[in-house]
Homo-oligomer: A and B are copies of this chain.
Amino acid sequence: MSTAPTLEDVRRAAERIAPYAHRTPVLTSRSIDAIVGSQLFFKCENLQRVGAFKFRGACNTVMSLTEEEASRGVATHSSGNHAAALTLAASLRGAPAHIVMPRTSPEVKKRAVAGYGASITYCEPTLEARESTLDEVVARTGATFVHPYNDHRIIAGQGTAGLELMEDVPGLDTVMTPVGGGGLLSGTSISVTSLDPTVRVIAAEPEGADDAHRSLIEGRIVPSVEPRTICDGLLTSLGEKTFAIIRNNVERIVTVSDAAVLEAMRLVWERMKVVIEPSAAVTLGVLLERKIDLTGRRIGIVFSGGNVDLGAFFAGLDPQNS
């Protein structure tokens, strides 16, 4: 797919992943609506396989490979949700997955990716080491490199969440997603604006990693340099493929403080009883901070994922430690 995906590409992705991915539920909360003053519809990709929307794009990509490509496998460098998603998708196709991870990745992430059956190669925790190690792995195995977001197959796959949201909730006037590398945002914007050009697509980004916000204003990709935020899924820069789509379709990227992100995350855990990760809470954080007036609106929000390290919380509860 060399040109930007269309709604048809998203629909084809939806068919391709249907046997493997969950059609995630849309949840609502009277009490959060009352706090925010809007009607919110939360598309729960935290309940997606591997706990994140990333499974959609990875699955679409892996299932798009030729038999011959699939037999040689897929490769990526990632320590997060993309690595787990790509590994699971590959295993569902019976294809090997080669993951390059920094030696310094948290044990919990190493175990998760290994648990899905990846062949892991550890490297030094620098971008240079990650890229050169990945090059070696690809040269050795012949695997197909799958970028976490700057890939039209990935973008089309991520767009399927927005497609389902639009199908399940009639009459939305606004759709919001987080933005990191822009895969979810660009894919969502294709589904949403193709189905209804009057719907506004608005993204949320942490103040301490506001490169996408600045990119949209400046009209060029501003790289993410030394981001500082608890939203560990939103640290990367936009890619040229995601940025081209976002420029066309996205009205605004609003920044949010980490304090508001935590407030939003806690509200969701307490009132809705679902676990979302900080990166998934930026959109509700924006609404709580009221940096943009969306009062009275009917807003679809994509909860991007639910992978949180719960160790500290459970250590505090453990009767062995009290």
Interfacial residues, chain A to chain B (CB-CB below 8 A): 25, 27, 44, 46-47, 51, 230, 258-259, 262, 265-266, 269-270, 272-276, 278, 306, 310, 312-314, 316-320
Contacts and interface: CB of A to CB of B under 8 A. Distances in A.
Given A273-B275, A273-B276, A310-B313, 12 more contacts: A25-B25, A47-B273, A258-B319, A259-B319, A262-B318, A270-B310, A273-B274, A273-B306, A312-B313, A312-B316, A313-B313, A316-B316
Nearest to A47: B273
A310 B269 contact: yes
Contacts of A276: 273
Given A25-B25, A266-B310, A310-B266, A273 B317 contact: no
A246 to B, nearest CB: 27
Contact of A230 (B44, B266, B312, B319): B319
Contacts of A272: 47
A25 B51 CA distance: 18
A112 to B, nearest CB: 10
A312 B316 CA distance: 8
Nearest to A311: B266
A276 B273 CA distance: 7
Contacts of A274: 273-275
A316 B319 contact: no
A278 B318 CA distance: 11
A260 B245 CA distance: 49
The 6 closest A-B pairs by CB, nearest first: A313-B313, A273-B306, A273-B275, A46-B273, A258-B319, A312-B316
Centre residue among A265, A266, A276 by max chain B CB count within 10 A: A266
A94 to B, nearest CB: 18
A84 to B, nearest CB: 12
A320 B320 CA distance: 29
